[in-house]
Amino acid sequence: MDILDAIILGIIQGLTEFLPVSSSGHLELGKAILGDNSVPEESLLFTVVLHFATALSTIVVFRKDILDLIKGALKFKWNDDLQFISKIAVSMIPAVIVGLFFEEQLEALFGGNILLVGCMLIVTAILLYLADKAKDTNKKVSFKNAFVIGISQAIAMLPGISRSGATISTSVLLGNDKTKAARFSFLMVVPLIFGKIAKDVLSGDLTYDSGNFTALSIGFIAAFIAGLFACTWMIALVKKSKLTYFAIYCVIVGLVAILFSLLN
């Protein structure tokens, strides 16, 4: 993989991890368009590096929230902070189950299945449109809501289903405040990303070639910077109910992906 490809894929990952347009779907499309010829192990390592970059950008954006949650939890009282952390733990259950018991079936879908990506992007568009039309409230995410949102996060493991789009849309459609929904959506994925990275590292499936250090580093930096921008921007967009624009984008890209798959 050359430097330009690393920059492009890094920016794609950084932007689409937070913007509701499916990072996994866009990475699949990007690899198909750029003709990614990396062996699976190298491709997996690059994907892990990009996800690590976006996880760090989330921590930077929400650093105050995370510190407050940690301080509140260390008081060992059933306060709002400990409840919020507990809700995140509940939301992780569906994704952990899917990751542990259906990993092989899931990975089989990530191999240039552009037709699936296109169809799932259209599903994402429908979710975004419905969420944008929902009324805003001051309701907090409940434990029951957290589990349902977790189910949508597990479904979003499919390439083309936006994780942020699915989780924020689900939360808003359940009647939760849009800003709180975005905050919960972004924070709930951080433990999963680090857990997945740890699993991949411990599995021994990652292969490192020192010749790829420059591409990996530049891809990391590009994803991190793009992630900082996209995460901050997305919070503002959710507040202003601007998700319909992304719904239109997902429909267009989805249709292009379907056409691309049919012509190749």
Distance of alpha carbon 257 from the chain centroid = 20
Q: What is the rounded average pLDDT for all residues in the chain?
A: 86
pLDDT score of 41? 45
pLDDT score of 209? 62
pLDDT score of 124? 94
pLDDT score of 206? 60
Structure tokens, 81: 């902070």
C-alpha to C-alpha distance for 244 and 178, rounded to whole angstroms: 14
Mean pLDDT over residues 182-186, rounded?
Answer: 91
Token pair 């809700």: residue: 87
C-alpha to C-alpha distance for 12 and 24, rounded to whole angstroms: 10
Q: What is the pLDDT of residues 192-208, one digit of tens each?
A: 888 878 877 777 666 65
Q: What is the pLDDT of residues 42-82, one digit of tens each?
A: 566 787 888 889 999 999 999 999 999 999 989 888 999 99
Q: Are 158 and 120 in contact (CB under 8 A)?
A: yes
Q: Are 52 and 193 in contact (CB under 8 A)?
A: yes
- Whether residue 230 is predicted with pLDDT greater than 60 in this model: the reply is yes
Amino acid (1-letter code) at residue 27: L
Q: What single string gives the DSSP state of each residue in 138-206?
A: -PPPPHHHHHHHHHHHHHTTSTTS-HHHHHHHHHHHTT--HHHHHHHHHHHHHHHHHHHHHHHHHHT--
pLDDT score of 56? 93
Each domain of the chain, given as residue ranges in start order, spans 3-263
Going by the DSSP 8-state scheme, the letter that residue 108 receives in this structure is T
C-alpha to C-alpha distance for 167 and 137, rounded to whole angstroms: 17
Q: Which of 14, 58, 28 is nearest to 185 (CA)?
A: 58
Cα-atom radius of gyration of the chain, to the nearest Å?
18
Q: What is the pLDDT of residues 77-132, one digit of tens each?
A: 899 999 999 999 999 999 989 888 887 787 777 777 889 999 999 999 999 999 88
Residues 6+ positions from 37 with CB-CB distance below 8 Å:
none
Count other Cβ atoms within 10 Å, centred on residue 156.
25
- pTM for this predicted structure: 0.84
